[in-house]
Amino acid sequence: IKSIVELFEDTIGGHHEADQLSRWLLSSKMVILVVLDDESLRGAVVGQMTDHEAEIFDLAVAVRFRRSGVAAQLTEAFIERGRSRGIQSIFLEVRKTNAAAIALYSSRGFAHCGERPGYYPDGESAMVLQWSNPCS
């Protein structure tokens, strides 16, 4: 848990506490997926799945593993977990200026479905993206 908290702090200015993540691990609605390499944490994704919808809260990749497919691997794993649970839609927010993340999510079937003006603490707006299960 500590490694996940540190990863989010180091890469995206994370706001998750260790005790919060520990509680989430006990919840059937929360999903925490990680990619490890010889015991080092490459990346992690945290989200929630309820009924037929899911949301990705945060996805982070350690700096030295960026552009190596880890974010795509985590996104695919989250989608597959959702499919196995009967999820029909997955939502997430991404900074409007984060072209790399937008391209990644778009390549995985996410589409723009809205905006959240001033969503981030620095005032930047977020794009809301949605993935829909083609089999639902």
> Exposed (0-12), middle (13-18) or buried (19+): which is 56, by Cβ within 10 Å?
buried
Q: Is 119 a catalytic residue?
A: no
Interatomic CA distance for residues 89 and 55, integer angstroms: 8
> Exposed (0-12), middle (13-18) or buried (19+): which is 135, by Cβ within 10 Å?
exposed
Q: Is 105 a catalytic residue?
A: yes
CB 71 within 8 A of CB 104: yes
Catalytic residue among 6, 53, 105, 124: 105
A 10 A CB-CB count for 130 gives 16
Catalytic residue among 39, 76, 80, 93: 93
Report, as residue numbers or ranges, the catalytic residues.
Answer: 93, 105
